[in-house]
Structure 1
């Protein structure tokens, strides 16, 4: 399998992926613990620096670019400082952000994580502050894209839908993407969806990559270590969404791949189970699966590549990406 995965990895370069979805700003505020406040039982931090990186669909697009893919991102941000910095960061990462609309009056969703530690210790997250604007009017965003989305769809190798509940992604938009891709001749273009709150409203796409908690919430079950419950849950999601494959990510328990008329593939976690940070790991997984399918890989090989990528990214602090070089080293080192 190692040689097959290396071949699949080499095929990722240059594949064109269109990413559509909700973009957020992941803000990391770093400080050093100075002392305990006399005003309240809280720590006083001496401010060090602030880092803002793309989250949500922006992180998925960044991961596609890090894997050597060519990606066009469609979404929206506000006309605020966070939105401006996001557009700059995306361009610096090699993402085509011409489809990112800056909406007047819209507040860019920002997730601020405050990390603190000593001079000689790793910074640990002590609090997270979420700033969310109202749901964006999808028609406003879709009309602002104009023909750019259809032009991008005309030459892409895959489409990644990232639905964080911000309003950009709608069933009507997904139906439009499907209709547009059907007009193309040649092989079928894979469409993948990562929906954090309502996976059930997307039907008949290529694949989805929900985590175990999302599956439990969707079906009202508790999976835990019970393989029989996992099997029923995965098959139920597969049936209800009418997708070709469902890849359930299970944290330290690895992954489970469900395909119609094929036995379930259980993939154990690779690397260390001492996780440093799971921020954005789901974006890395679906980006890797999407790129692999774009290059013609099987669902199983795509899942194995994503398993390596997920194992690498959770060992990094903050919202991070994984490169093809890192993936190659991890595959070659795995005995």
Structure 2
């Protein structure tokens, strides 16, 4: 399939995203004086913006690429979860959210003066999902599989308590039974829990923390890391994001580094989520390793050139190849 035809065929695909949902809050203002109470700046607040973060941003990127998306996650019973539900509804992203009374919905509040981020305030719990919620989550997931199984599943782990070893095993088992490809964006706590997944997508910093040898953005050490991961995970494809150095991809036989295209960088926030979304659709459409890496790189570079978190749109990807 030609890559442009593959991109156009993204529309209408069924994808499920399962992972930690985050509400991103941006407080904007101006600083023109120092507080008399302490040597700190005073921000005169001008406006507030809310955005989908974490697994919800992956879902937004998939939706922007034309997929029909269902998001499964864990929230608290609070106003932050209400904001998220409202935004997901506006984006027409289906959602199945399990709520826990004693858990705050994960939020990250960034205080910004001009173009300068002054501080970030995280409000979260990293305690594992409770048994009652886990059973409800598994029941909802199983029932939805009977209604309309997806063509791909994304597991987006931010180590906020949803993706425990037990739930990961449950999800991978269900996916294997139905031959559904699983794309994984891991974090350190459950790094080696995703045995048999289709595509495993850590970043280079996460890789370096999980292997007993130095890792840098060169093919020799990345091939070594890939081999180490394969011995533990028995997965199909490794995709390692290398920040400004591009993307490494390997199927255990062939491997490549696709360098980043030089362009003006306005904001790197959310670029990893864009890569996850594009790679997911690339796997679904059986694109080659090189095509998946190149397409993901193009998309990530584009969203980095736009200030703030930007979900990639189908028309933007098509534009690159016309």
TM-score (norm 2): 0.92
Write the mapping of 1:131-142 to structure 2, written as runs, cut at 5 A.
Answer: 131-142=123-134
Q: Decide whether the 8 Å contact of 1:113 with 1:127 is kept in 2.
A: yes
- Select 2:315's aligned residue among 309, 325, 330: 325
Q: Which moved more, 1:202-211 or 1:42-51?
A: 42-51
* Cα-to-partner distance string for 1:130-150 (whole Å, 9 max, x where unaligned): 111252425333322364312
- Select 2:98's aligned residue among 85, 101, 119: 101
Higher relative contact order (CA 8 A, sep 6+): 1
- Select 2:50's aligned residue among 49, 52, 67: 52
What displacement does 1:129 show?
Answer: 1.1
What displacement does 1:100 show?
Answer: 1.1
The yes-or-no answer on 1:63 pairing with 2:41 is no
1:298 is aligned to 288
Q: Decide whether the 8 Å contact of 2:22 with 2:53 is kept in 1.
A: yes
Residues 1:233 and 1:100: Cα distance change in structure 2 (over 3 Å): same
What displacement does 1:255 show?
Answer: 0.6
The yes-or-no answer on 1:232 pairing with 2:229 is no
1:157 is aligned to 151
Write the mapping of 1:10-49 to structure 2, written as runs, cut at 5 A.
Answer: 10-49=8-47
Q: Which moved more, 1:41-50 or 1:217-226?
A: 217-226
What displacement does 1:94 show?
Answer: 1.4
Secondary structure at the counterpart of residue 41 of structure 1: coil
The yes-or-no answer on 1:168 pairing with 2:158 is no
Q: Quick one: distance in 1 between partners of 2:212 and 2:268? A: 24
* Cα-to-partner distance string for 1:278-301 (whole Å, 9 max, x where unaligned): 222211111111122223333332
Aligned residues: 319
Structure 2 alignment gaps of length 5 or more: none
Secondary structure at the counterpart of residue 102 of structure 1: strand
Write the mapping of 1:191-230 to structure 2, written as runs, cut at 5 A.
Answer: 191-197=182-188, 198-230=190-222
Structure 1 alignment gaps of length 5 or more: 118-122
What displacement does 1:25 show?
Answer: 1.1
CA RMSD in angstroms comes to 2.0
- Select 1:242's aligned residue among 234, 238, 244: 234
Q: Decide whether the 8 Å contact of 1:107 with 1:134 is kept in 2.
A: no
Q: Quick one: distance in 2 between partners of 1:182 and 1:203? A: 11
- Select 1:267's aligned residue among 258, 273, 286: 258
